[in-house]
Amino acid sequence: MSVLQEIVAGLGVPNFKVLIPEIIILITAFIVFVIELLTKARLLITVVTAIGLFLAAIPTLNMEYGDLTFYGLYIVDSFSLTFKFFLILSTFFVVIVLRPYLEAKNTYYGEYYYLILFSLLGMMMMVSAPNLITFYMGIELASISIYILAGMFKKDYLSKEGAFKYLILGGTGTAVISYGIALIYGRTGSFDFVTIANTITSDNLDVGAVAGIAILIIGLALKASSVPFHFWTPDAYQGAPTPITAFMAVAAKISVFAVILRIMVEAFPFAYEVWNTGWALLAAASMIFGNFVALRQDNVKRMLAYSSIAHSGYILAALAAPSGAAFTALIFYSLVYIFMGLGGFIFLSAMERQYNWSNNINDFRGLAKRSPILALFMLIFMFSMLGIPPTVGFFGKLGVFIALINSDIWWLAVVLVVMSIVSAGYYLRVVIYMYMHEPQSKAKVNLSVGEAFTLAFMAVFVLILGIYPTVFWDISQILSSLLVAGIGR
């Protein structure tokens, strides 16, 4: 036997079967790279990307056996597969609305497509990380791709400025996260979640471990754009091309929430009092600040950026309670946020292509008379973000609220309800402008097939899930019980 064969025999071959979605995404990214280099055929690039995403989504749904592979560095379980499916789904919708927007704004580059795929790959690595190294590599692959995506608006200064702010603050977040990892490594001698959880118990929790966890939480809060580490969010969201904003606000956020949940529950179950308090404070600050600042925005894109900070608050509030119900609420809210978030931002991306549209609140005047169906879709998204019953946003907030009350965290539950009422101020303002004002222009609204399909799909899903949330609720419940059971793995 040669040396190489001996090494392979000694190490064993990783189980590549469970990595099929990631492998398909990676291969698609390289194929798109080559097509972009050789042909510049725009429709072909979109179609190849969409087909790649579709093919990658199939194995996430019908994979029967997960595994802990790559020598314990990569875990494929129901939790990661579910999130991978929804990440691929949201990326698919971003990809099909991207080309009309870029062509209308005269900023088309083929690079958008494979950078989105690389970023998606990073997010998929993140949600299936059982180890701090995998998590760190995933979050960096996703972030660095998004820095480029956010700044790629041709000859547009605001895009560059937003991307640069994101890069500096995201880089700070990276450094802070890795410093937290260093402290935890210094205390436990391991990067593995389970080993960390086994090394420290609540009895021998010392300053070093608490400092490491606190610093890691600060870094993660920065990536999840929670107040007071949110400064990059509105600027980067406003400057980026709107479909990319949708990608940042939905896919990137969801993967960060998933990884936060997994790290907190699997790696630090012993310190739940520390991270409960930490996330409760961050969530309350995000809800209060995000909603009040969103009230004074006239630019609807920036208003939705602040509202996404507020939604981070609602989702992270679930981490204040260390119970299965709270984790269920977090997973459920993250999954349904995909539909409202994508709906809201892709609505803006479709409208920005219309004549004389600048995302200002005045542009919404009389939209119901120009295009009743589009106005109805926006109404549904706004009601869902606000949390009015026939839409799914209501059940998201209800889940978090009940979980908080069951754990006797009344103050946060009260903040959540009061801030939801405050948020009516700016969500309903959009609705009022659409329905109760006279239109300024009579120009028809033209949508591409992809945009019309995406908006209709999101609106219908928000309503269906609002009437019948059981399916998603059951999925979330199963995932959270598996996650809790996995602590003693």
Partner 1 sequence: MVPYEYYVALSGLLMVLGLIGIAVRRNIIALLISTELMLNAVNIAFVAFDMKLGDVGGQVFVFFILTIAAAEAAVGLGLIMAIYRLRRDVDTETLTELKH
CB of 143 to partner 1, least distance (A): 9
Q: Are 385 and 429 in contact (CB under 8 A)?
A: no
Strand partners, 69: 74
User: How long is the chain?
Assistant: 489
CB of 230 to partner 1, least distance (A): 13
Cis peptide before 228 (omega within 30 of 0): yes
Minimum CB distance to partner 1 smaller for 186 or for 372: 186
CA–CA dist 301, 226 (Å, integer): 18
CA–CA dist 179, 383 (Å, integer): 41
CB of 135 to partner 1, least distance (A): 11
**CB neighbourhood size of 238 (10 A):** 21
When binding is defined by CB under 8 A, the residue of 33, 147, 257, 268 that contacts partner 1 is 147
CA–CA dist 314, 316 (Å, integer): 6
Site string for partner 1, 407-436 (x = CB under 8 A): ------------------------------
CB of 137 to partner 1, least distance (A): 6
When binding is defined by CB under 8 A, the residue of 25, 102, 183, 320 that contacts partner 1 is 183
Q: Are 257 and 483 in contact (CB under 8 A)?
A: no
> Max Cα separation, the chain?
82
CB of 85 to partner 1, least distance (A): 28
When binding is defined by CB under 8 A, the residue of 4, 64, 155, 206 that contacts partner 1 is 155
When binding is defined by CB under 8 A, the residue of 59, 110, 138, 234 that contacts partner 1 is 234
How many residues form the binding site for partner 1 (CB under 8 A)? 40
Inter-CA distances, 76 with 62, 82, 126, 130, 267, Å: 13, 10, 11, 9, 17
CA–CA dist 484, 466 (Å, integer): 27
Q: Does 334 bind partner 1 (CB under 8 A)?
A: no
When binding is defined by CB under 8 A, the residue of 9, 182, 417, 460 that contacts partner 1 is 182
DSSP letter for 248, please: I
Structure tokens of 134? 């995998």
Minimum CB distance to partner 1 smaller for 50 or for 152: 152
When binding is defined by CB under 8 A, the residue of 59, 110, 162, 343 that contacts partner 1 is 162
Site string for partner 1, 102-141 (x = CB under 8 A): -------------------------------x--xx--x-
CA–CA dist 119, 256 (Å, integer): 13
When binding is defined by CB under 8 A, the residue of 7, 47, 61, 175 that contacts partner 1 is 175
72's enclosing H/E stretch is: none
* Strand ranges (E), 352-478: none
Minimum CB distance to partner 1 smaller for 159 or for 328: 159
Interface region with partner 1, contact rule CB under 8 A, candidates 154-162, 328-336, 362-370, 413-421:
154-162
Minimum CB distance to partner 1 smaller for 151 or for 366: 151
When binding is defined by CB under 8 A, the residue of 70, 108, 185, 457 that contacts partner 1 is 185
When binding is defined by CB under 8 A, the residue of 67, 70, 111, 160 that contacts partner 1 is 160
CB of 444 to partner 1, least distance (A): 32
Minimum CB distance to partner 1 smaller for 182 or for 449: 182
CA–CA dist 259, 244 (Å, integer): 21
Type of residue numbered 107: T
When binding is defined by CB under 8 A, the residue of 61, 168, 432, 449 that contacts partner 1 is 168
Q: Does 165 bind partner 1 (CB under 8 A)?
A: yes
The CA-based angle 56-61-65, given to 5 degrees, is 105
Q: Does 296 bind partner 1 (CB under 8 A)?
A: yes
Interface region with partner 1, contact rule CB under 8 A, candidates 56-64, 232-240, 409-417, 434-442:
232-240
Q: Does 72 bind partner 1 (CB under 8 A)?
A: no
When binding is defined by CB under 8 A, the residue of 8, 41, 189, 277 that contacts partner 1 is 189
The CA-based angle 398-237-161, given to 5 degrees, is 155
CA–CA dist 294, 242 (Å, integer): 18
Q: Does 167 bind partner 1 (CB under 8 A)?
A: yes
CA–CA dist 153, 163 (Å, integer): 10
Nearest to 130 by CA among 216, 190, 193: 193
CA–CA dist 18, 309 (Å, integer): 34
Interface residues with partner 1 (CB under 8 A)?
133, 136-137, 140, 144, 147-148, 151, 155, 157-158, 160-165, 167-168, 171-172, 174-176, 178-179, 181-183, 185-186, 189-191, 234-235, 238-239, 293, 296
